[in-house]
Amino acid sequence: MDKLKIILSWSFGALVLLIVLAFSTTARNSSFVSSENIKVEIEDVDGQYFITSDELKKEMIYELDILDSLSLEEINIKMLEESLDNHPSIRKAEVYSKLDGSLRVAVSQKQPIARIQSSTADYYIDEIGDSMALSSNYFASVPLVNGLVNAKTRKKLHQFLTLIQQDPSFKDFIGGIKILATGEWLLYPKHGDHKIIFGKPTDSKRKLRKLKIFYLNKASTKAELDEIKLLNLKYEGQVICRKH
């Protein structure tokens, strides 16, 4: 008899829990969407915010069209996510609802690695090599690239910038890159008043290794660095240095 009472008690408890959950889900789904119950979480990437919570809310409100008369169950979550994914600063958006009736969106941002600037275009290249529109919210401190930038050179540029991002010695080293009509590159370091003839973007690892050794042995102080006018990495096995 005691065993039967325990089974009945557990069964009744489970039934009550199911009823409460069903009621909560119904109440949540029938909640109307408003700007107050849209909650935004934006992934922080080194303190960079190319999109703000308010901007993202406005984007969602525009997509939802009518607020205060649209319930959570009427929202097409998949379509809303796809729409937010098309934002120029968003890598991926995840939209979901909570038991409290709020609509949540979690966003991961694109990460720029260079800025392309010419008379006809001004945009970023992101971490996977795609174009990324500039943002009015944040200015990224990335190398400025000008000159002959096309699909082929942009692919080489992405490979090169990914390579230097992986080396702590060069991660914050390059301030600018000029791509010449000959296919050769000029690098402009952030430190020192000199430029580097990199040549064509081939054998980049070897050239960077030569450059690192040169700086360690020949330009380890600010005074030595300030004397340099030009470095040439084009020739195998040597670094040609021209001083002021």
Could you read off the pLDDT of 100-144 as tens digits, one per residue? Answer: 777 888 999 999 999 999 878 899 999 999 999 998 888 899 999
Residue 105 main-chain phi, psi, to 5 deg: -135, 125
Please state, in angstroms and rounded to a whole number, the distance separating the CA atoms of residues 29 and 71. Answer: 6
Q: Residue ranges per domain, the chain?
A: 31-109, 112-243
What percent of the chain is modeled with pLDDT above 90?
A: 41
The highest-level CATH class for domain 31-109 is alpha beta
Tokens standing for residue 111: 């990460």
Percentage of the chain surpassing pLDDT 70? 82
**Of 23-27, 48-52, 65-69, which one has max mean pLDDT?**
48-52
Residue reference for tokens 């970023």: 124
Work out whether strand 38-42 and strand 122-126 pair parallel, antiparallel, or are unpaired.
unpaired
Domain 112-243: which CATH number of 3.40.50.11690, 3.10.20.70, 3.30.70.3420, 3.20.20.70 = 3.40.50.11690
Write out pLDDT tens, residues 209-218: 999 999 988 8
Helix (H) or strand (E) holding 2: helix 2-29
Taking residues 132-158, report their average pLDDT. Answer: 91
